[in-house]
Amino acid sequence: MIADVITPRHVAIIMDGNRRWARERGLPSVEGHRRGIIALREVTRAASDLGVEVVTVYGFSTENWRRDAKEIAFLFDLCVYFAKNELIELQRNNVRVRVIGDWEALPARSRDALADLQRDTAANSGLVLNLAVNYSSRSELERAVRSIARDVAAGTIDPNAIDDAMIAQRLYTAGVPDPDLLIRPGGEHRLSNFLLYQAAYTELVMSDVYWPDFSREHLERALAEFSQRQRRFGGT
């Protein structure tokens, strides 16, 4: 890494390209997802080493329910596998896992595995790994608005007191700084319903590298590019 690289506090990642990675190699799509777990392990370790405080990854969106039933079932099995088999690695690196999204709507086996993972890493004080599972940013915003509306109706909130900070506290990411940098491997150039509110002033780095091939080196390049940006936060 370049010595004067400015490290972002919070890096968000859309883990894209697993299926295309597998297809181009004549492999079933599930192999791409399996290799994606390996990439997540490496990138999480690298982010921790490089001083990143929070990493939020897009693991399973609400739109993913439209995929083939066998692939969805495998993704849930992979969720259980990750929760059980990555625990030692996460503990070794002092990583605390949080799950965001409507993950409690998942099948019981996956839900219980994610709950156990959060509990077992809760005391860790290093990097926070947010797993966005069954996540939709629009649904997250709807949830926040309904929560505020209920309090307004109950008379516990003055509508004139509603501000950015109040909305942020009703999101899944409450208490976490907004992402400084969002990385999307896989060659696409869109947010795909991920952290739409939180990413208002986030720097974006798009990569043509498929997620299963995304490595520490690619993360370092993205951080180096981030450090060259002049952030204006909406100013001129």
Q: Catalytic pick from 4, 49, 64, 163?
A: 64
| 164 is an active site residue | no
| Spatial separation of the C-alpha atoms in residues 179 and 9, rounded to whole Å | 7
| 93 is an active site residue | no
Of 147, 134, 141, 159, nearest to 199 (Cα)? 141
Q: Is 125 helix (H, G, I), strand (E, B) or coil?
A: coil
| Spatial separation of the C-alpha atoms in residues 95 and 90, rounded to whole Å | 5
CA distances from 88 to 41, 61, 117, 231 (A): 11, 26, 11, 37
Cα(first)–Cα(last) distance of the chain, in Å? 30
> What residues are labeled active site?
16, 64
